[in-house]
Amino acid sequence: MASDRDISRQLQASVLDAHHSTRHLQLIGSGSKRFYGREAKGEILSLSAHSGIVGYEPTELVITARAGTPLEEIEQALTEKGQMLPFEPPRFSGGGTIGGAIAAGLSGPRRPWGGAPRDLLLGIKLLDGQGRILNFGGQVMKNVAGYDLSRLMAGALGTLGILLEVSVKVLPKPPQEHTLTFYSEDHNTWTLIRDILGKAIPVTATYSRGNRHKLRLACNKHRLKRIQTECGLETVDHQEEFWQALRDQELDFFQRKAPLWRISLPPAARLGLADETLNEWSNALRWLVSEKPGEEIRTLVERQAGHAVLFRNGDRTGERFHPLQPRVAEIQRKLKQVFDPKGIFNPGRHYPHY
């Protein structure tokens, strides 16, 4: 059921109240990502009632919606016009709102080709920690007036303010996507994928686990056949659900109770870890289930110019996100001061003392 409700005045009143009495607020959309980040603290402020698509003009390739709008509603509106959210936001447990998707900054399997939330975010209406409503960015593709403070909100986990409205770039959905599969020893995978990418073949997702690999391509049947012959790969039909399950972490791999690490790396990087990983994004994103100490994992990842997030399970009071260079951490703390001087939004959810 499509909802259309503007509760920005109520939200503003709650924020002003929390600001004056320095009370912590825990921002929640649909609650599908409550597992993510450090332990949440503070009074719950639900944004899900602040919902509805405010503007959608398919030929402008932009959709503007209130933060609490369910992803499902957005995707339905886009599908009707043959379009999509190019970052393929995960819908953990089937839920998720557009505000939550942007705030968490997470992307699905299409990320290397479709972009991340920060790439697609064009503008925001922000309710900051002093109860001010501010507009940054806009509804147009290109906009370099002022600092890009809208994109700064993508992945900030709501620590800088409430995203009352977001404008996101959308793209035409490929009319057809096909899945190819192949078996190969792990160390050969990248070479093969790199080869395929080098031919400008429109790959839109990759998956590797052990010696089993899948590629999703956006092309017509005729071309699929040619690529298949050329690269010696096998077609598998009806894989939409597989890619969706990968996006939403419903595959068995993600159901284990041990700590799940999300590791972001240059695609060719070799980690030198014995543990099995599940790889996406042509190997630039690797999921690792491991009981190894965080420090050990992070040292290895850092050496390869990447970073590691403790994504699910494990201790939620320690460092979940990769520690920052001291000066960068200081800049981050000072930026928090600009938007939320009393530190009322999601305290400690992203980093300790932040």
Partner 1 sequence: MHNRQTLVRKFQQMLPSDCVIFREEELIPYECDGLSAYRRVPLIVLLPYTADQVEAILKFCHQQQIPVVARGSGTGLSGGALPHEQGVLLSLARLNKILEIDTENMQARVQPGVRNLAVSEAVKPHGLYYAPDPSSQIACSIGGNVAENAGGVHCLKYGLTLHNLLRLTVITIDGEKITLGAGGLDAPGLDLLTLMTGSEGMLGVVVEVLVKLLPIPTCRQVVLAAFEDVEAAANAVAEIIAQGILPAGLEMMDNLSIRASEDFVHAGYPTDAEAILLCEVDGIDDEVAEEILRVREILLKSGAVQVRTAADEQERIRFWAGRKNAFPAVGRLSPDYYCMDGTIPRSQLGKVLKMISEMSDRYGLRCANVFHAGDGNLHPLILYDANIPGELEKAESFGGEILELCVAVGGSITGEHGVGLEKIDQMCAQFTDQELETFHAVKAVFDPHNLLNPGKAIPTLNRCAEFGAMHVHAGKLRFPELERF
From residue 20, give the alpha-carbon distance in Å to each of 193, 219, 354: 55, 56, 19
Residue 216, classed as helix, strand or coil, is: strand
With beta carbons less than 8 A apart as the criterion, state whether 290 and 297 touch. yes
Residue 246, classed as helix, strand or coil, is: helix
- CB nearer to partner 1: give 210 or 266: 266
- CB nearer to partner 1: give 112 or 259: 112
Q: How far is the CB of 34 from partner 1 (least distance, A)?
A: 20
Task: Give CA–CA dist 327/99, Å, rounded.
Answer: 29
- CB nearer to partner 1: give 176 or 211: 176
- CB nearer to partner 1: give 199 or 256: 199
Q: Of 278, 282, 287, whose CA–CA distance to 267 is shortest?
A: 282
Q: How far is the CB of 51 from partner 1 (least distance, A)?
A: 21
With beta carbons less than 8 A apart as the criterion, state whether 76 and 85 touch. no
Q: How far is the CB of 294 from partner 1 (least distance, A)?
A: 13
Q: How far is the CB of 262 from partner 1 (least distance, A)?
A: 10
Task: Give CA–CA dist 297/316, Å, rounded.
Answer: 17
- Contacts of residue 45, defined as CB under 8 A and 6 or more positions apart, other chains included, come to 11, 14, 15, 18, 25, 26, 27, 28, 162
- CB nearer to partner 1: give 74 or 218: 218
Q: How far is the CB of 252 from partner 1 (least distance, A)?
A: 25
Q: How far is the CB of 347 from partner 1 (least distance, A)?
A: 15
- CB nearer to partner 1: give 44 or 328: 328
Residue 240, classed as helix, strand or coil, is: helix
